[in-house]
């Protein structure tokens, strides 16, 4: 066989392979387009959470979620990775530091002296996904405390996706800059658990593999860059995307199926409690009161509304790992280091969730009452009240 014939046959085989791949890719793309069209046509327009049954006044909800989509833009921040971009709207406002604005006067007219400074840290549940500025958990804590006669200044450091380690670093940066709180509140649990489940490792920020890939890309040789580009092209191909969908639908692949869930759940709690040890050490040096809360999810609410049942059913495998992690936390939370609010809605039948993790404004109010009550109790002498005052509205309306 001559060299020319070998070359010809090689080109023929290569051409046929490219043609077959092109046909396969085109077919897969058509199937994906059809699947996406069916999915999009079966879903109502806009954010589905706008139809959550916890919203009793629908007049503002659609406009709110339009603002929510427009405001959901992140900027890179050293050490903590990201914060929200400044935004001005009717229902959502983010300041130049990337923090959600807490409305209301910092210092009411009654009383004298410096306002009690409260720093609150957490993820999107604290930031206020699903709630207007005045109805986030920090804003409602501020309102409850002001109605009790305290002069307070509450800062909402919550950021979408933050795990407790990011919150701890954010606090360190505030202390380093000379800003001194009187009370520091950590409201965590969901993101620590979710991130560990997705990445099979505890203590990592969410989607850490993306930052790893970016760093490795900057250090790669020309040959490795070529391989990375080819791999990225392959991952984005319709053929691969369709294969992944088919595998997930067959149960062969799951983002939320840890290989060793019991061990991982324990490590999530161990990492979280270690962060609280650092928080307590900082509180002793900088003289602030630390309060830590393990937050609830829809998985711990036995009496679900029809809407909440649908939201829970969307993530059945995630529910199992959350239950394991939350059980591990409950078994180790008796030392008082953390207030376990995971069962706060265990006897609550009314709607409170807009999805499996975010509360609506009614749920935020109930959580805020609990936190405000603890602030009043633990800071009575610092605030100059002498004794702890009751939280307005507490009692029968509290879960």
For 120-178, how does the pLDDT look when each residue is reduced to its tens digit (9 = 90+)?
999 999 999 999 999 999 999 999 999 999 999 999 999 999 999 999 999 999 999 99
- The pLDDT of residue 320 is above 80: yes
Count of CA atoms in the C-beta half-sphere (13 A) of 152: 30
Cβ partners under 8 Å of residue 38, min gap 6: none
pLDDT tens by residue, 195-240: 999 999 999 999 888 877 777 766 656 565 566 556 666 666 666 6
Q: Are 7 and 14 in contact (CB under 8 A)?
A: no
- The pLDDT of residue 369 is above 80: yes
Give which of 357, 397, 391 is closest to 374, Cα–Cα.
Answer: 391
Which residues of 195-296 form beta strands (DSSP E)?
A: 289-294
- The pLDDT of residue 382 is above 80: no
Q: Which of 308-312, 384-388, 391-395 ranks highest by mean pLDDT?
A: 308-312
C-alpha 17: how far from its chain's center?
A: 45
- The pLDDT of residue 250 is above 60: no
- The pLDDT of residue 243 is above 50: yes
Task: Give the C-alpha separation, 299 to 308, whole Å.
Answer: 10
pLDDT of amino acid 395: 33
Helix (H, G, I), strand (E, B) or coil at 383: helix
Across 177-200, average pLDDT: 96
pLDDT band, residue 253 (cuts 50/70/90)? very low
CB atoms within 10 A of CB 343: 14
Across 330-357, average pLDDT: 92
pLDDT of amino acid 104: 79
Give which of 143, 177, 136, 178 is closest to 157, Cα–Cα.
Answer: 136
Across 49-67, average pLDDT: 96
36-40, 178-182, 218-222, 290-294: which has the minimum mean pLDDT? 36-40
Task: Give the C-alpha separation, 94 to 102, whole Å.
Answer: 9
Both tokens assigned to 17: 């392979």
- The pLDDT of residue 370 is above 80: yes
pLDDT of amino acid 247: 60
- The pLDDT of residue 61 is above 50: yes
Task: Give the C-alpha separation, 51 to 39, whole Å.
Answer: 18
- The pLDDT of residue 26 is above 80: no
- The pLDDT of residue 42 is above 70: no
pLDDT band, residue 65 (cuts 50/70/90)? very high
Both tokens assigned to 297: 């999810």
Task: Give the C-alpha separation, 271 to 274, whole Å.
Answer: 5
- The pLDDT of residue 14 is above 50: yes
pLDDT of amino acid 364: 98
Mean predicted lDDT score pLDDT of the chain: 84
User: Model's pTM, two decimal places?
Assistant: 0.81
Across 287-301, average pLDDT: 97
Both tokens assigned to 261: 């869930």
Please report, rounded to a whole number, the percentage of residues in the chain having pLDDT higher than 70.
76
- The pLDDT of residue 71 is above 90: yes
Across 106-120, average pLDDT: 72
Residue entry with tokens 């239950």: 323
């Amino acid at each position: 066989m001559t060299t020319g014939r070998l070359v010809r046959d090689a080109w023929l085989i290569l051409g046929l392979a490219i043609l077959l791949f092109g046909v396969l890719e085109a077919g897969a793309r058509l199937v994906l387009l059809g699947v996406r069209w069916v999915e999009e046509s079966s879903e109502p327009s806009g954010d589905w959470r706008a139809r959550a049954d916890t919203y009793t006044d629908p007049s503002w909800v659609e406009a709110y979620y339009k603002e929510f989509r427009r405001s959901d833009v992140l900027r890179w921040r050293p050490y903590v990775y990201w914060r929200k971009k400044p935004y001005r709207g009717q229902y959502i406002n983010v300041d130049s530091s990337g923090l959600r604005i807490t409305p209301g006067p910092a210092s009411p007219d009654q009383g004298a002296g410096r306002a009690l400074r409260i720093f609150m840290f957490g993820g999107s549940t604290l930031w206020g996904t699903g709630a207007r500025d005045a109805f986030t958990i920090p804003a409602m804590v501020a309102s409850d405390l002001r109605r009790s006669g305290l002069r307070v200044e509450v800062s909402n450091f919550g950021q979408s996706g933050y795990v407790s380690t990011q919150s701890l670093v954010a606090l360190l940066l505030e202390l380093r800059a000379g800003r001194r709180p009187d009370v520091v509140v950590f409201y965590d649990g969901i993101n620590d658990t979710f991130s560990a489940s997705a990445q099979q490792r505890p203590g990592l920020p969410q989607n850490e593999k993306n930052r790893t890939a970016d760093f490795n890309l900057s250090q790669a040789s020309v040959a490795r860059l070529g391989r990375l580009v080819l791999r990225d092209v392959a991952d984005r191909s319709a053929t691969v995307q369709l294969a992944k969908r088919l595998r997930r639908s067959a149960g062969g692949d799951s983002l939320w199926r840890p290989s060793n869930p019991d061990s991982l759940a324990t490590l999530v709690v161990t990492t979280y409690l270690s962060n609280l040890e650092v928080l307590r050490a900082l509180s002793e040096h900088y003289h602030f009161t630390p309060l830590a809360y393990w937050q609830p999810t829809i998985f711990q609410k036995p009496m679900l509304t029809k809407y909440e049942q649908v939201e829970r059913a969307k993530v059945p495998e995630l529910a199992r790992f959350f239950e394991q992690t939350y059980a591990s936390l409950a078994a180790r939370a008796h030392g008082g280091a953390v207030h376990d609010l995971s069962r706060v809605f265990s006897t609550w039948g009314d709607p409170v969730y807009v999805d499996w993790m975010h509360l609506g404004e009614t749920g935020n109010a109930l959580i805020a009452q609990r936190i405000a009550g603890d602030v009043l109790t633990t800071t009575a002498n610092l605030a100059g009240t002498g004794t702890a005052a009751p939280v307005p509205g507490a009692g029968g309306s509290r879960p």
